[in-house]
Amino acid sequence: MSEFLQVDRRDDGVVWVTLNRPEARNALSMALNLELYDLGAELEGDSDLRLVVITGAGDKAFSAGADLKERKGVSASETGPYVNAIGNAINQWSKIRALTVALMNGSAFGGGLELALACDLRILVEGAELGLTEVRLGIMPGAGGTVRLPRLIGEARAKEMILLGRRISAQRAYEIGLVNAVVPRERLAAEMESLLAELAGCAPLSVRAAKTSVERALEVGVEEGLTIEGQCYETTLYSDDRNEGLAAFAEGRKPQYSGR
């Protein structure tokens, strides 16, 4: 039973997760992080899943990051579990094998942006701002921000954001490849539905294998990356969905993928 996460499992293999602390701009409290970790662990290997969408309640923020009010009452020597909880939750989120999308209904800072960085795709609402603002708070990103952001947008742009704690506009975030799309609020749901329709034409096993390949290959040299790609490819080769894909193409119809 989740108190701070609203979880909606749909029959079509889609799970909608909502960070549900709008009064605190969906800040990541200890309790919320523990729920996020448990849910991530539950979803990680679920082979029936096609898509996990994470969004925030309200229209102000996707997430304002670590719960700074909760942290204020914690001494330096007691911070460890708090920092670990947010880092573990976000890292666990990155381990989900199905496609993950951050549907960013508002601004995201600190851990809120780090959570979005742990997703495969980010769709951001117009007018929102993003930032890893930790250096302005006397700390630094500690839930993957310094690791994932440079990989996504390059060292120079990442340093500009991280070392200056700069807040950037949605438009700028799109221009530097930090988010995949920026859409008006009234089009957020439609954007997600259209992505879902697109995903319906993709074989689930192929999506997972390709995701694994991209992620693992990013961490190694080209030769090793090609070996990893070959291994991931192999997992699709003897699947029912490969036969279905080829048959549907030959018959000029839409494929019906089973995920097997």
Long-range contacts of 160-165 (CB under 8 A, 24+ apart): 161/131, 161/132, 162/132, 162/134, 162/135, 163/135, 164/135, 165/131, 165/132, 165/133, 165/134, 165/135, 165/136, 165/137
State which of positions 17-56 bind ligand COA (CB under 6 A): 24-25, 27
Hey, what amino acid is at 10? R
Piece in contact with ligand COA (CB under 6 A), picked from 104-112, 223-231, 237-245, 247-255: 104-112
Please confirm, yes or no, whether 114 is among the known catalytic residues: yes
Please give the Cα distance from 90 to 145 (Å, whole number): 10
**List 53, 66, 90, 179, residue binding ligand COA (CB under 6 A):** 66
Told to check if 110 binds ligand COA by CB under 6 A, we report yes
Please give the Cα distance from 180 to 232 (Å, whole number): 25
Please give the Cα distance from 102 to 43 (Å, whole number): 15
State which of positions 114-153 bind ligand COA (CB under 6 A): 133-134, 137
Told to check if 93 binds ligand COA by CB under 6 A, we report no
Sign (positive/negative) of CA torsion 6, 54, 209, 221? negative
Q: Which of residues 14 and 188 has its CB atom nearest to ligand COA in the complex?
A: 188
Told to check if 166 binds ligand COA by CB under 6 A, we report no
Q: Which of residues 52 and 66 has its CB atom nearest to ligand COA in the complex?
A: 66
Closest CA to 101 of 26, 24, 39, 180: 180
Please give the Cα distance from 76 to 93 (Å, whole number): 26
Q: Which of residues 68 and 189 has its CB atom nearest to ligand COA in the complex?
A: 68
**List 94, 100, 107, 239, residue binding ligand COA (CB under 6 A):** 107
Kindly name the residue from 35, 42, 78, 134 that is annotated as catalytic: 134
Q: Which residues belong to the active site?
A: 114, 134
Residues lying near ligand COA in the complex (CB under 6 A) are found at 24-25, 27, 60-61, 64-69, 107, 109-111, 133-134, 137
